[in-house]
Structure 1
Amino acid sequence: MSASAIPAGPVQIGVEIEEQFHTEKQQRHAAKLGMWIWLATELLLFAGLFLVALIIRVQHPDAVTPAARHLKFAIGATNTAVLILSSLSMSGAIEMSRMGWQRGTVRCMQVTAALGTIFLLLKGFEYYKDFDEHMMPFLAWRPYELAHLPASALFVDDYYVATGLHGLHLTTGVAIVLVMAWQVGRPGYLARHQNRIEVLGLYWHFIDLIWMIVFPVLYLLNR
């Protein structure tokens, strides 16, 4: 091939790139559907833990009762109220984002993150009290009334797995809320990505819903 046959400039290839979504409404629907599917898988994970706790309670009530009495009811009830308030503030953030109120959205998200942090601090204090009472799963010995009851040990271990997973989800949620609150404070973010606030709201409400099941199943029954 001669040098004159080589194109002098970049070659334009006529490839038409189609958008993934035809409309903004379709994009919002797809994002929410994806989150709902993922939350359903997470619910199945927690459902197995709740089912184990309920089976132990039904089959071994005498063993579960002393273990349940060691759980800190006052802290659990306080944390329940804290998460209810956080759901309200998250709902406020969603509504304000729909109206385009940037500052109000940021404030509500900051309140949500603060309430989530309060929950984690209270939960950490509760774990400390459990450690002081030798209720942690990795300890070789437990309180006298539980040491000879395998079902009570299984219940306590299930409690720690369920609350530990919930705490991990909540920690992730607090981090995402703080990052997104910072992003919302940037000009034009709400106009382009308001749907992200609503998807995050689904995740946060899921965290609250899980705790609303944890509290009665682990703290109240057979107490």
Structure 2
Amino acid sequence: MRLDWLTKRPIANCGLHGCDKTVLENTLPAFELAALENYTICCDVQLSHDGVPMVFHGASLEQVTGKNLRIIDLRSSEIEKIRSDDGKPRILPFETLLHNIGGKVPILVNLEGNDGEDAGLISRVTELLISYPNSSAIMSQDVHILRRVRFADHAIPHGIKAEGNRRSEIEEHFAMLAHDMEFVAYNFRQLANPFVRFAREKLAMPVLAWTIHNAEEWERARINADQMIFEGFKPTGIN
């Protein structure tokens, strides 16, 4: 089946970090550690000002640079000069991540967009993933990205990342199913809702629970989910 791999093993959110405080999220060491443990990798990707997909989570670079800038405000060459405390690159191009992991494990990409400024994000990431020698998929929580997903190359599966249990939120999630979604990633604290049940039971979509921080949270979440997106610990012996 096209998405069997997605539920086969735990998914390391932003790489394997949090267990060792010297390893930062969404950095190459975190992804290499996740690959060594045979976890699927999940990373956040957004475009630089010159249209290069960069691996970074969040709307602002303030915690990293001290300036209220966004990835989309800087060219990729400027972003690559940003260093962590030990002098190593803090933010890497998505292509560099794929090259270094080399297909050792599958990869799940969370697209973070800037509405009206990120034309080409889906196509550029998809193009890179098509050449990646292992399974991969794309998801997003941004509605404007999900609405464009149906026009992308469907060699790469697409899913929705979501949260919320208010009626308006659930209705919006249902509407997104019209845009060729193939799986769901949902806030583990809010899994028990009509949208998740419909996607899992009626549409047979894989459901991922995010973000799991320990085995106890997964025990609660697995009633309504097929696999975890985790951070801060190492799952063992868990499907």
Larger radius of gyration: 1
Give the TM-score taking structure 1 as reference length: 0.21
Give the TM-score taking structure 2 as reference length: 0.20
Higher RCO (CA < 8 A, seq sep 6+): 1
Which has the larger share of strand? 2
Which has the larger share of helix? 1
